[in-house]
């Protein structure tokens, strides 16, 4: 990875908010079920404490993370950061999962769109057919303000990040960057390593986006990284 370039201030603020999200909102232990062989002897039933201890010993657990829980806490941390640094946020609004304008209006005005490489990728991934998009976070001047498009964010956890839905979210962010004119786009991924990200990126065409303003934030329980595509490609 190359030496980090100067990071956009709003991306810096977001990264600080991400780092402030407590680890309990990033990963938790989920009871998957009991071991295949479960036998209870009469001795285990003598009193409740023995029985409960026995049942506890038979559980199998897996690590899980919930995108919605993380997003709620991130919104709270980010809003606190905005309030404490209100000067640069005076004319901006932070929205969660707000629907942006229908894509058709942009596509109609997108010169030579059918011959454009990004348009072809969007068509192949059937993204344009969805009409409206609902990003996880939007920092902008409001839904009718096309001048203050500061930051758009998608969030994914390790459980639901397949090659296919990584590609979908990557190209959704490309839409916001190239068609909507957002100054910066950020893809937050929970509980994945940099090598995983490199593997995912092998399935998309990174040359179709502005790499300097396309950021990734990787967050685990105790670590956090933030970099743009220029620094990893």
Encode pLDDT of 75-125 as tens digits.
999 999 999 998 899 989 999 877 655 455 555 555 455 567 777 787 777
**Pairwise CA distance, residues 170 & 164, whole Å:** 10
How far, in Å, CA of 227 to CA of 11, rounded?
10
Least confident of 20-29, 103-112, 143-152, 216-225: 103-112
The residue ranges of every structural domain in the chain are: 9-27+65-232, 28-63
Q: Indicate the helix (H) or strand (E) that contains 165.
A: helix 163-178
Average pLDDT of the residues of the chain: 79
What share of the chain has pLDDT > 90, as a percent? 41
**CB within 8 A of 222, min separation 6: which ones?**
23
pLDDT of the residue at 23:
87
What was the pLDDT predicted at 202?
A: 95
Q: ∠ CA 121-126-132 to the nearest 5 degrees?
A: 110
Where residue 201 falls among pLDDT bands split at 50, 70, 90?
Answer: very high
The pTM of the full predicted model, rounded to 2 decimals, is: 0.78
With bands split at pLDDT 50, 70 and 90, how would you rate the model's confidence at 62?
very low
Query: If we measure between CA atoms, which residue out of 149, 222, 146, 225 comes closest to residue 187?
Result: 225
């Amino acid at each position: 990875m190359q030496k980090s370039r100067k990071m956009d201030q709003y991306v810096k603020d977001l990264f600080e908010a991400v780092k402030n999200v407590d680890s309990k909102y990033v990963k938790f232990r989920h009871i998957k079920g009991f071991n295949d062989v479960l036998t209870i002897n009469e001795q285990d039933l003598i009193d409740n404490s023995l029985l409960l201890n026995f049942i506890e010993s038979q559980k199998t657990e897996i690590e899980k993370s919930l995108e919605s829980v993380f997003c709620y806490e991130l919104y709270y941390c980010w809003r606190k950061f905005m309030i404490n640094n209100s000067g640069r946020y005076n004319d901006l609004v932070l929205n969660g999962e707000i629907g942006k304008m229908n894509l058709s209006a942009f596509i109609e005005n997108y010169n030579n769109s059918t011959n454009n490489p990004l348009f072809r990728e969007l068509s192949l991934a059937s993204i344009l057919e969805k009409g409206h998009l609902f990003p996880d976070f939007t920092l902008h001047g409001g839904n009718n303000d096309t001048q203050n498009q500061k930051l758009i964010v998608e969030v994914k956890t390790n459980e639901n990040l397949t090659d296919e839905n990584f590609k979908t979210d990557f190209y959704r962010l490309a839409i916001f960057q190239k068609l909507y004119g957002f100054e910066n786009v950020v893809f937050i991924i929970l509980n994945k390593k940099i090598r995983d990200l490199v593997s995912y990126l092998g399935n998309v065409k990174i040359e179709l986006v502005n790499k300097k303003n396309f950021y990734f934030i990787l967050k685990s329980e105790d670590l956090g990284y933030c970099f743009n595509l220029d620094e990893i490609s």
